[in-house]
Amino acid sequence: MSSHPFSPQDPQPLTRCALEACVALDQQALGGLWSLEQWRKELEDPQRLTLGRWNPGQSELLSLASGWLVAGELQVMLVAVRPEQQRQGLGRQVLRALLKRAQEHGCSSAALEVAASNQAAISLYAALGFISCGQRSGYYRNGEDALLKWLDLKQIQSRADNRPE
């Protein structure tokens, strides 16, 4: 199989051509959170953004982030990284790219829910500047609480502007 045309450093928008890769990554990283039909809608709806990073040597989707554009806000729906690639910054990279793309679409904030026990995700979101703004008791099927997180997208640019080169 030939190399994927995307740069391995830059997450790229995913289209319906990536449907099978998204479903496979969802199965590996999230246990099959979404159905094939949900993924199809995610990749076709213009009010939804899905970005991914490919391994060009093997044409495998390494990570992805997906969100919905709703009234000037990005609702982050999921971030997934291949299990063997976790803890290498791929989740941060693809989520940061999603936030930037949302800004380009006119969004001024981002919001998400995260399981209260998911410390890796909570740390990732905190590192990007998300703050806690509430909780939904018993939100998940297993009865676990969801923490509500929010980010002013203007903070992303100001954080980048203040970083030493």
Catalytic positions, please?
A: 113, 125
List the structure tokens of 56.
């060009």
Residues in a beta bridge with 149: 112, 132
- What is the Cα Rg of the chain in Å? 16
Give SS3 for 77: strand
**Cα dihedral across residues 130, 148, 96, 59: positive or negative:** positive
Pairing type for strands 109-115 and 73-81 reads: parallel
33-40 CB contacts, 8 Å cutoff, 24+ apart: 33/78, 34/78, 40/16
- Residue appearing with tokens 């039909």: 37
